[in-house]
Amino acid sequence: MGDLPSQYMGFTWSTGWNGWRVISEAEYPDQARPSSGDKNIIVDENEMLFVHLTDATESFNLNSLFIGEALRFPYDPSDPFSHHKLVTISATGLGGETYSTTFLPDTASMSKVELSWMNINSISFSDVSGRLLLDDLSVTATPEPSTIVLVASGLFLVFLVRRRRTS
């Protein structure tokens, strides 16, 4: 199990106490369940987890992610420390937008969660009871406003030039 490299996937990863780790199927066959490749990310139990861009003025779109849970012990409804419960995934955007969904991670496989959250700059995971597993976060960059203005200006100029030629 290795520490998560700094800026893994372009994000800053933090937790309340223990850090995120990278695990492989070869090292941890009972816990690792990558949706692609041979590794995925894991964090210890009972953590509040945060994923955010280092530059708080940047944003991204979170399209989907694969999530699972590796319980430390087999599930026993009578044991309060082996409980399996819903995980809340939340995000905040630069314009104050908030997104949230609740999901019961599978303890046997990775499940794809479709989100389509736009213009966000941080994600948090709360109510994690087991070891949360993440893999294949699908993100796209949000164009900066200056880029949008530049493209719109170019399209407007093309329209003006075409209009002059036809008149």
Q: CATH top-level class for 2-142? A: mainly beta
- Count of residues for the chain? 167
48-74 per-position pLDDT tens digit = 666 766 555 678 888 999 988 876 555
The residues spanned by each domain of the chain are: 2-142
Element (H, E) at 158: helix 145-166
| C-alpha to C-alpha distance for 59 and 39, rounded to whole angstroms | 26
Burial class of 45 by CB neighbour count within 10 A (0 to 12, 13 to 18, 19+): middle
Which residues partner with 69 through β-bridges? 132
pLDDT digits over 6-57, tens only?
Answer: 667 777 777 655 567 788 888 877 777 777 777 787 776 655 666 766 555 6
Q: What is the pLDDT of residue 144?
A: 59
Q: pLDDT band at 80, cuts 50/70/90?
A: low
pTM of the full structure? 0.71
pLDDT tens track for 88-120: 888 888 888 899 998 888 878 888 999 999 888
Q: How far apart are CA 43 and CA 66, in angstroms?
A: 14
What backbone torsions phi and psi does residue 36 show, to the nearest 5 degrees? -150, 160
